[in-house]
Amino acid sequence: MSATGIGAAVRRKEDFRFITGKGQYTDDISRPGQTYIHFVRSPHAHAKIKSIDGTETKTMPGVVAVLTGADLANDKIGNLICGWAITSKDGSPMKMSAHPAIANGKANHVGDAVAVVIAETLGQAKDAGEKVKVDYEVLPAVADPAKAQAAGAPQIHDVAPNNTIYQWHLGDQKAVEAAFKSANHVTKLDIINNRLVPNAIEPRAAIADYDAGNDALTLWNTSQNPHVARLVIAAFVGMAPEHKLRVIAPDVGGGFGSKIFIYPEEVVCLWAARKVGRPVKWVSDRSEAFVTDAHGRDHVTHAEMAFDHEGKITALRAKTIANLGAYMSTFSSSVPTYLYATLLSGQYSIPQIYCEVDAVYTNTVPVDAYRGAGRPEATFVVERLVEVGAREMGVDPADLRRRNFIKSFPHQTPVIMAYDAGDYNASLKKAMELADMKGFGKRKRDSARNGKLRGIGYSTYIEACGIAPSQAVGSLGAGVGLWESAEVRVNPTGSVEVLTGSHSHGQGHETTFAQLVSERLGIPIETISIVHGDTDKVQFGMGTYGSRSGAVGMTAIVKALDKVEAKAKKVAAFMLEAAEGDIEFKDGKFTVAGTDKAAAWGDVALNAYIAHKFTGAELEPGLKEGAFYDPTNFTFPAGCHICEVEIDPETGNTDVVAWTAVDDFGVVINPMIVEGQVHGGIAQGVGQALYEGTVYDKEGQLVTGSYMDYAMPRADYLPSFKVDTTETKCPSNPLGIKGCGEAGAIAAPAAVINAITDALGTEEIAMPASPATVWAALQKVQPRQAAE
Amino acid sequence: MYNFAFHRPTGLRQASNMLGKLEEAKILAGGQTLIPTMKLRLASPGNVVDLNAIADELSGIELKGRSIVIGAMTRHADVANSDVVKQHLPALAYLAGLVGDPAVRHRGTIGGSLANNDPNADYPAAALGLGATIHTTKGKYEADNFFKGLFETALGADEIITKVSFPLAKKAGYEKFRNQASRFALVGVFVSKRGSEIRVAVTGAGSNGVFRVASFEEALKKRFAPKSLEGLTIPATGMNSDIHGSAEYRAHLVGVMARRAVTRANEFAAGEGED
């Protein structure tokens, strides 16, 4: 292993820029003559817009334009779309409502834009925005997904009776029912997977600029996938033809999924820039982010697991209501279906699984993919059922897991997925050692002496990453393919630019992708640049989400590097006057087999461009190759997380006192970056379990609309994590990579809640398990324990 | 933020005059409440009178007889790190170190906190729990007569806090249970013993702001120990109830935090070798 190659803990190349304040984020970009846009948003969760009067607004200082949904419709700007078609069990297509970028006629959630004001300064735009007179007729609202389908519930979209978007299912219902009938033990749980607000450190932003000379638009925005944004805005919204629209996603400060989607604000900025003939800039503030960024999770589930007399799982069934909010966001439909039910087998050999999912509209912010997207929800269901099942049957939870682990691969689950490789025993064993399970009894007694309750919980999770084989997802309703692209450009001096369709917004691609190139070409990492995020520079690509950029994005680079090497060998053959087949390439040097003839990488690159050693008839000059890679399967990262908590029964406060994570990510390119990803993921997962609760009241008002009420996980709330890995190479890609970006967030919530319920002796704990929630649970359980 | 006129007086009298004359005037001290509120457009003062040009005159920590006197513009971090406070009133230094985060503590001021009287703030508990005297440009108030409910105090519109005098207590302790989101006190209890006077002041819990708990004070008179409070509770009526905790939970926490504050007070006292 070289110091900068695969497996080296290379320091992130991008960090100097970020930590010295030299990053170039969307808000750092300004255009000559730019104006500022302010969105006037509905304060009501559900209201008819009877009229909008902008007369006074137009007279306010600095106002350039006041625009409404009616203007948008007059200009024939199309609706936003959801790009994954789900079919209900009765064969009917999902009920997708119109989603105009500015509400026209009816506002459907607090924060739904109803008008925009464009002015010379942001202050002027906000001042003028207050003068827009909107006459609302407030309608009854529904925010709770469990109540959305009830008779008499407020109807949000005519296209979706009972607010039901689809009623989907997966698996063999009859076989599952039979298995439950003959079960020795059945464990049942009601689960609410709490709604989360993503909270990337950089709020969303957009600047649109119209070039009248070329009738072309440029959009800078905070996107995880600028090409997909361009495609949707061109082809579906109809803003401009694809070749007349450039989308640039410069440095982006975190996304966690929330910046995958195509949002109203960027569409409106583009439209308004052309309309007013000047650049239009929008930067979300944090309050706006709470009511406009797509939220995550929000499932209500009843789940059951059947066991035979040996504790073998014979079947699992789940019925889930998934809240998709007021409109269907870009990939919302896929999250509670193909990213959720397909993972309900966990790490276990479960012969039969059946899952039903009803997706519903409510008067809340749209819900879409958020770190893990469906897989945290699935893991929570499976890992809670297994843990509770073990307790109910009086079996050690680790032992019950071992009895049910899948041990041979490939393994076809009853819910589509074909796991390719893994060793679940290995990660469980290593985690139990690291967590000192043997010493837990003593630690629990020590805690008890101090008046504290100690508990420990496992989460042996699995996820499907490397999203995804295009044909497979196409057959499941995806509107796009999920391959990735790369182009490797070798310069005449031998330095290399890699143009990738992936997008880095915290993942460290500028380092890890360069490590791959450094390893393959044997050249210093400083001579390699990673270029991404600009549709004018980079060939079409699918962007970054679903822990796909290593497994899919880097494999595309491998394929391009293969071609570059093949071409370079041809050039070297001419230079060294040898047969192409005799050229060997190693450590940045081309040699002729069995001779001492050699050419350095830089000389070969130069010769490729000066083209003095071969004629045009013999070889094309230049050294630049591109590749597209479509994966053959998902990848299946898996592992074991163990959480240890100490609870103060007097206050209900939970301290996470120890955390062990042993993950199998396949081959690791940069262990330091991987560890960082695991840390961040665990923090977000602990956030879901203990702190982050999104609360809407009955009127559909977001009660937790700021950090005064929405608790984020903080560094001082968390212990130092013990992080380690095991490795089974992923057989589905040449690098053997599985992906690591979401594992922590997927594994953590179940581990935390399993630990808390272990400590408390009750399974009735809702997330987030705030001190008040835990204390209230203890008030119910303590008299019971005292009576026993 | 709405437009406003910004004033920076160079003397205390000038500042008072401005507050008396200017329409919708607000004092800017540390700005840790006013500025965010203005940025959110929830406050729109026509005039902002910034005291920072006279911050030196209004800052400082001094031991005067049996009291610690702290200038109104003294930042929380300076109180938290003051050797004088740490030595003579460690509970107050401890409390100041729990306010907000480092950025807040280096800008926020004691005068600003008391004048704002946020029902979840820490300083009102210290002022009431120690029986502090609040000095202003017009006179002075005993803490018992200063706090008048949510965000309300006895201060007149053109009155500025100049300093706060905390009598030294034989024993004093503070215990704060944080709201996990805002890090304000969900419940904070300050206890003190000065001669025969016992004070127990509670912030965060009450729906009308900081308050004293007479029954706890009575119980602690017999013996200043957590055991004296065992089994004692306060009624849930009058407690806040919201997504962060029910009234019952807050009432329960008042008892828990009071016992722990007494323990801490005894520890502080033991650390000084006074008891």
Q: What is the CATH number of the domain that holds B153?
A: 3.30.465.10
Read off the pLDDT of residues A6-33 as tens digits, 9 standing for 90 and up: 999 999 999 999 999 999 999 999 999 9
Contact B275, B225 (CB under 8 A): no
Q: What is the ipTM of this complex?
A: 0.95
Read off the pLDDT of residues A730-764 as tens digits, 9 standing for 90 and up: 999 999 999 999 999 999 999 999 999 999 999 99
Chain A interface disruption, residue of B41, B104, B177, B180, most A CBs within 10 A: B180
Final residue of a domain: which of B167, B187, B211?
B167
Final residue of a domain: which of B122, B152, B167?
B167
Is B65 within a domain? yes
Mean pLDDT of B56-78: 97
* pLDDT in the model for residue A788: 58
Is B241 within a domain? yes
* pLDDT in the model for residue B271: 84
Both B235 and B188 in one domain: the answer is yes
Count other C-beta atoms under 10 Å from residue B103's C-beta: 10
* pLDDT in the model for residue A292: 98
B182: nearest CB among A287, A708, A776:
A708
Using an 8 Å CB-CB cutoff, list chain A residues near B2. Answer: 127
Using a CB–CB cutoff of 8 Å, tell me whether B180 touches chain A.
yes
Chain B interface disruption, residue of A60, A702, A775, most B CBs within 10 A: A775
User: Which of the four pLDDT bands, split at 50, 70 and 90, describes residue A716?
Assistant: very high
Q: Is the dihedral of CA A757, A763, A768, A774 positive or negative?
A: negative
A772: nearest CB among B2, B182, B244:
B244
Contact A131, A56 (CB under 8 A): yes
Both B23 and B112 in one domain: the answer is no
Peptide bond into A93 cis (omega under 30): no
Chain B interface disruption, residue of A708, A714, A767, most B CBs within 10 A: A708
Q: Is the dihedral of CA A700, A132, B41, B155 positive or negative?
A: negative
Mean pLDDT of A551-569: 98
* pLDDT in the model for residue A787: 59
CA distance B197 to B207: 26
Q: Residue B10 is part of a domain; what is its CATH number?
A: 3.30.43.10
Is residue B78's pLDDT more than 90? yes
Is B55 within a domain? no
User: Which of the four pLDDT bands, split at 50, 70 and 90, describes residue A698?
Assistant: very high
Using a CB–CB cutoff of 8 Å, tell me whether B245 touches chain A.
yes
Both B106 and B158 in one domain: the answer is yes
B40: nearest CB among A123, A287, A693:
A287
Mean pLDDT of A167-175: 98
* pLDDT in the model for residue A708: 95
Using an 8 Å CB-CB cutoff, list chain B residues near A126. Answer: 41
Both B238 and B223 in one domain: the answer is yes
Cβ separation of A771 and B243 shorter than 8 Å? no
Is residue A232's pLDDT more than 70? yes
Both B192 and B117 in one domain: the answer is no
SS3 A393: helix
Cβ separation of B244 and A709 shorter than 8 Å? yes
Phi, psi angle pair for A83, to nearest 5°: -95, 15
B180: nearest CB among A123, A126, A711:
A711
Both B40 and B67 in one domain: the answer is no
CA distance A206 to A221: 4
Cβ separation of B181 and A707 shorter than 8 Å? yes
* pLDDT in the model for residue B272: 53
Using a CB–CB cutoff of 8 Å, tell me whether B145 touches chain A.
no
Cβ separation of A123 and B1 shorter than 8 Å? yes
Task: Write the DSSP string, B189-236.
Answer: EEEEEETTEEEEEEESSBTTS-EE-HHHHHHHHH--SGGGGTT----S
Using a CB–CB cutoff of 8 Å, tell me whether B10 touches chain A.
no
| Single-letter residue type at A51 | S
Q: Which long-range contacts (CB under 8 A, 24 or more apart) does A693-697 make?
A: A693/A194, A693/A195, A693/A767, A693/A768, A693/A770, A693/B243, A694/A194, A694/A195, A694/A196, A694/A197, A694/A295, A694/A298, A695/B243, A696/A45, A696/A143, A696/A144, A696/A364, A697/A143
Cβ separation of B246 and A776 shorter than 8 Å? yes
Using an 8 Å CB-CB cutoff, list chain A residues near B41. Answer: 126
Q: Which domain holds residue B71?
A: 61-167
Q: Would strands A484-490 and A496-500 be described as parallel, antiparallel, or unpaired?
A: antiparallel
For chains A and B, CB pairs below 8 A equal 47
CA-based nearest distance B41→chain A, Å:
10
CA distance A48 to A68: 14
Using an 8 Å CB-CB cutoff, list chain A residues near B256. Answer: 650-651
Both B163 and B67 in one domain: the answer is yes
Length of chain B: 275
Contact A608, A622 (CB under 8 A): yes
Both B200 and B187 in one domain: the answer is yes
CA distance A465 to A749: 19
**Which has the closest alpha carbon to A413: A335, A352, A356, A468?**
A352
CA-nearest residue of chain B to A702? B243
Mean pLDDT of A638-647: 98
CA-based nearest distance A712→chain B, Å:
7
Is B46 within a domain? yes
CA distance A463 to A376: 8
| List of residues 6+ apart from A401 with CB closer than 8 A | A347, A348, A386, A390, A424, A428, A458, A460
Cβ separation of B181 and A775 shorter than 8 Å? no
Is residue B273's pLDDT more than 70? no
Cβ separation of A772 and B1 shorter than 8 Å? no
Q: Is A688 left (phi over 0), alpha (psi -120 to 50) or beta?
A: alpha
Read off the pLDDT of residues B92-140 as tens digits, 9 standing for 90 and up: 999 999 999 999 999 999 999 999 999 999 999 999 999 999 999 999 9
Read off the pLDDT of residues A530-549 as tens digits, 9 standing for 90 and up: 999 999 999 999 999 999 99
Task: Write the DSSP string, B5-53.
Answer: EEE--SSHHHHHHHHHHSTTEEEESS-TTHHHHHHTTS---SEEEE-GG
CA-based nearest distance B170→chain A, Å:
28
Using a CB–CB cutoff of 8 Å, tell me whether B101 touches chain A.
no
Length of chain A: 788
Is B143 within a domain? yes
Both B114 and B194 in one domain: the answer is no
Is B56 within a domain? no
CA distance A678 to A673: 9
Using an 8 Å CB-CB cutoff, list chain B residues near A653. Answer: 177
Both B111 and B192 in one domain: the answer is no
- Using a pLDDT cut of 90, give the percent of chain A over it: 98
CA-nearest residue of chain B to A773? B245
Cβ separation of B243 and A127 shorter than 8 Å? no
Both B73 and B146 in one domain: the answer is yes
Cβ separation of A123 and B41 shorter than 8 Å? no
Is B153 within a domain? yes
Using an 8 Å CB-CB cutoff, list chain A residues near B245. Answer: 771-772
Cβ separation of A126 and B41 shorter than 8 Å? yes
Q: Residue B177 is part of a domain; what is its CATH number?
A: 3.30.390.50
E strands within A379-511? Answer: 411-412, 418-419, 453-462, 484-490, 496-500
Is residue A307's pLDDT more than 80? yes
Using an 8 Å CB-CB cutoff, list chain A residues near B252. Answer: 775
CA-based nearest distance B32→chain A, Å:
14
Cβ separation of A771 and B180 shorter than 8 Å? yes
Is B162 within a domain? yes
Is residue B275's pLDDT more than 50? no
CA-nearest residue of chain A to B256? A650
Cβ separation of B2 and A127 shorter than 8 Å? yes
Contact A413, A353 (CB under 8 A): yes
Q: What's the total number of domains in chain B?
A: 3
Using a CB–CB cutoff of 8 Å, tell me whether B177 touches chain A.
yes
Cβ separation of A771 and B256 shorter than 8 Å? no
User: Which of the four pLDDT bands, split at 50, 70 and 90, describes residue B1?
Assistant: confident
* pLDDT in the model for residue A1: 63
Domains with residue ranges and CATH for chain A: 18-139+199-292 (3.90.1170.50), 299-467+633-787 (3.30.365.10), 483-629 (3.30.365.10)
CA distance A312 to A184: 10
Computed over every residue of chain B, the mean pLDDT equals 96
Cβ separation of A708 and B181 shorter than 8 Å? yes
Task: Write the DSSP string, A174-236.
Answer: HHHHHHHHT-SEEEEEEEEE--B----SSPPEEEEEEETTTTEEEEEE--S-HHHHHHHHHHT
SS3 A370: coil
Using a CB–CB cutoff of 8 Å, tell me whether B231 touches chain A.
no
Cβ separation of A651 and B245 shorter than 8 Å? no
Q: Would strands A216-221 and A245-248 be described as parallel, antiparallel, or unpaired?
A: parallel
A325 sits in which H/E element: strand A313-325
Both B138 and B187 in one domain: the answer is no
Is residue A785's pLDDT more than 70? no
Final residue of a domain: which of B152, B167, B182?
B167
A676 exposure class (CB count in 10 Å sphere: 0-12, 13-18, 19+): middle
**Structural tokens at position A367:** 């819900």
**Which has the closest alpha carbon to A392: A185, A148, A699?**
A185
The DSSP 8-state label assigned to residue A333 in this structure reads: G
Q: How far separated are the first and last CA of chain A, in Å rounded? A: 61
Chain A interface disruption, residue of B233, B243, B257, most A CBs within 10 A: B243
Cβ separation of A123 and B3 shorter than 8 Å? yes
A711: nearest CB among B181, B249, B256:
B181
CA-based nearest distance B98→chain A, Å:
13
A709: nearest CB among B41, B243, B245:
B243
